[in-house]
Amino acid sequence: MEEICRDTFRKNQDSIKIKKEAVAVKNLAAIFHTTLRLSNEKGFQTMSLRDLSRTSGLSMGALYSYFTSKDELLEMIQDQGRRLTLKILTAFIDIGAPPAEKLRAAIRGHLYLTEVMQPWFYFSYMETKNLDKRRQKKAIEGELATEKLFIDILEEGVRQKVFQVADPVMTASLLKAMLQDWYLKRWKYAGRRISVDQYADFLIGFMESAVRPAP
C-alpha cells in the first residue's frame, strides 16, 4: 500500500502541492483508503469531501493540496490500479512456460491480485461510468489490455494443439467475466465460505474442461 502511494505521489508530483515525500505518502494512503471505504459503501458521488475530511482526519484545505478536484481524485485512484494490474499480471505469467501453465498462472494472478486489492477493483469497476469520455476510454483500454493477455495464451495453446478453442476472443471475454465476479460479488462467496483458492481451483478446472481438445 505504501509503495503504491509513493508511486502515485511521484507520478503526480507537479499537481500535488505537498513536497515532503514522507508526509505526502502517509496522507495519500489515508485519502485513498478512506475514499475506497466510503465509496464502496455508498458510491463516490454520494461521498462528500466533508465525509472524506471527517473520516480521514484531514481538513478540507489539506485534501485540496493533494488533488485539484474531486474528479481528479477519482482518476488518480483508477490510474494507479490499472498500472498495478498490468505490472503484477505480466510478472505472474512465466514467459517460457507452456500455455496450460500460463493459463493457470494468469487466472491465479488475477484472482490473488483482486483479492488483496478488492476495494480498489470494485471501486474502479463501479465508478468507470462516472468518468468523463477521455478517462472512460483509458479505462476501456485497460480492460482490453488484460483481456489481451488471456487471448494470447489461448491462441498459443491452439497453435501448439494443447487447447481446442473455437473463438479465443469470446473465450477470454467469458473468462474475464468469471474473474471479475470474484471481486464484484464478494458478499456471495463470503456467505458461502468459498476461499480465493477454492474459487481459483474451481475456475481453473472449469476452464480446462472447456478448452480441452476432443479426444
By CB under 8 A, what part of segment 136-175 binds its own copies?
140, 143-144, 166-167, 169-171, 173-174
Please report how close the Cβ of residue 195 comes to its own copies at its closest, in angstroms: 12
Residues that bind DNA in the complex, under the rule CB under 7 A:
17-20, 23-24, 27, 47-51, 57-62, 64-65, 68-71
Residue type, 96: G
Q: Which is nearer to its own copies, 62 or 131 (CB)?
A: 131
The item of its own copies, DNA, none sharing an interface with residue 15, based on CB under 5 to 8 Å by kind, is: none
Residue 91 binds which entry of DNA, its own copies, none, CB below 5-8 Å type-dependent: none
The one among 14, 20, 22, 41 contacting its own copies by CB under 8 A: 41
CB of 16 to DNA, least distance (A): 9
User: Toward its own copies, which CB reaches closer, 67 or 122?
Assistant: 122
Residues 6+ apart with CB under 8 A from 163: 99, 100, 154, 157, 211, 212, 213
The C-alpha cell of 148 is what?
489481451
Long-range contacts of 136-145 (CB under 8 A, 24+ apart): 138/78, 138/79, 138/82, 139/78, 139/82, 142/82, 142/85, 142/86, 143/176, 145/86
**Residue 51 or 115 with smaller CB distance to DNA:** 51
Residues that bind its own copies (CB under 8 A): 40-43, 45-46, 126, 129-130, 140, 143-144, 166-167, 169-171, 173-174, 176-178, 180-181, 185, 187-189, 192, 194, 199, 202-203, 205-206, 209-210, 215
